[in-house]
Amino acid sequence: MTRFPSAIVLRNANVLDESGGFSGPFDVYVVDGGIAAVGPNVSAGDAVSLDASDLWLLPGIFDCHDHISMSTLSIAESLATPLSRWALETAQNARLTLEAGVTFVRDMAGADAGMRDSIARGYVTGPTMQVSTVLISQTGGHGDGFLAGPGFELSPAYLMPNYPGKPRFVVDGVEELRKAVREVIRSGADWIKLATTGGLVSDHDNPLVADFTLEEVQTAVAEATRKGKPVASHAYGGPGLDNAVAAGVRSIEHGGFLTEEQAQRMAKAGCWLVPTLSAMRDTLRWAQQGVLTPVQCRKILDFGLELGGAVRVAKEYGVPLAIGTDYITREQHGSNLEELALMQEAGLSVEEVLLAATKGGAELCGVADRYGRIAPGYVFDAVLLAGEPGKLRRLLEPGAVAAVFKAGQPAVLDPRLEDAL
């Protein structure tokens, strides 16, 4: 492709507005990666004009719960994978994620500051990232993948390999937790992530039983807040979710068994829910297919998880929502926009989904002053769709995404637009 110009104007695009609908057709003038003007018949000087007639423009999608460094559930494969190959496949996962239309990722364990910064410096192609580096867990909690035979401390299924400088993540008690938070912040993390309940894809913990005491969670939140870092909590339900909300975490991840009373408290506290419906759907399928361990399969199927139930409860009580996929295998990366379809199928309107995936994600990540809108002064992270997104499952069809821009530069560009250069 010809070197992409630093000044372009997209002519006659249908543009996502503040209501989640589309206005226009409007011209969008982009200079040096930022939006200079939006409106009809914009004067754009010598900028290259691209005909966006019959295309639908929205801000880049936020995936607020992804694991771009994770590629397999096989502990045997993970243990046999050299660290260099793991890092290079992470780069491939990042590229696939960006090309899908996700321009901003909040990576909730696995990717570290080096991966984030390598993308920012242009060493590899991928979304803008925020990272938590590790999932902090109690001994025997959801993030503890202890390998009993040789007695090795591991993350579950060795999804997050060990490397020099990796912060410790299995801790107990107030003082150990305080130090772990400090070590994660020292590693360059943007977020602290705690496992305050057990999970589904694990053998020894329960998603409705609390991991960490209220005092421990409060300590972690206080320490993170003192250093200006928000806290996200892996929590499916029960007392562990209650502890997380009471302690002041910024977001609940998953929340699969969220109750009406918990939703009311979350809404009052301004605590976000990132439902990760893709992961829950895949987890249920893996259990039905017997892909996971027998203990995991029985646990998942016996709980009777209702896909989308938490979304409906959260919507009813006004809990702020963002989208997240929780992808952990190489087959998943690059199909991130399916999460939008699952959110719609769970009961949100198209408008509600598009705002959760753009403006909502930007607000959760604390970057809503620069990302999440098509408006002057904002970074031109954007997705052009080939058709009106009424049924969001159509976003997965070949050719549905006509272009993906990150800071004004195309990661995907339809030949119709490329030919105009």
β-pair type (128-131, 102-107): parallel
| Whole-prediction pTM | 0.96
pLDDT at position 39? 96
The answer to whether the beta carbons of residues 262 and 244 sit under 8 Å apart is no
The residue written with tokens 């977001």 in the block is: 251
Rounded to 10 degrees, what is the CA torsion of 173, 179, 184, 186? 180
β-pair type (409-413, 401-406): antiparallel
∠ CA 124-130-133, rounded to 5°? 90
pLDDT at position 2? 57
The answer to whether the beta carbons of residues 100 and 335 sit under 8 Å apart is yes
CA-based end-to-end distance of the chain: 9
pLDDT at position 150? 85
Residue 178 neighbours by CB distance under 10 Å:
17
- In tens digits, what is the pLDDT along the chain, a chain of 421 residues? 557 999 999 999 999 999 999 999 999 999 999 999 999 999 988 899 999 999 999 999 999 999 999 999 899 999 999 999 999 999 999 999 999 999 999 999 999 999 999 999 999 999 999 999 999 999 999 999 888 888 888 888 888 899 999 999 999 999 999 999 999 999 999 999 999 999 888 788 899 999 999 999 999 999 999 999 999 999 999 999 999 999 999 999 999 999 999 999 999 999 999 999 999 999 888 888 888 888 888 888 888 788 899 999 999 999 999 999 999 999 999 999 999 999 999 999 999 999 999 999 999 999 999 999 999 999 999 999 999 998 999 999 999 999 999 999 999 999 888 877 7
pLDDT at position 203? 81
β-pair type (56-59, 7-16): parallel
List beta partners, residue 232. Answer: 193, 251
Nearest in space to 197 (alpha carbons), one of 163, 242, 159: 242
The answer to whether the beta carbons of residues 94 and 408 sit under 8 Å apart is no
* Domains delineated in the chain: 7-59+372-418 (2.30.40.10), 61-364 (3.20.20.140)
pLDDT at position 348? 98
- The answer to whether the bond into 207 is cis (omega within 30° of 0) is no
pLDDT at position 118? 98
* pLDDT digit string, tens, across residues 135-182: 999 999 999 988 888 888 888 888 889 999 999 999 999 999 999 999
From edge to edge, which strands make up the β-sheet containing 192-195? 192-195, 231-235, 251-254, 272-274
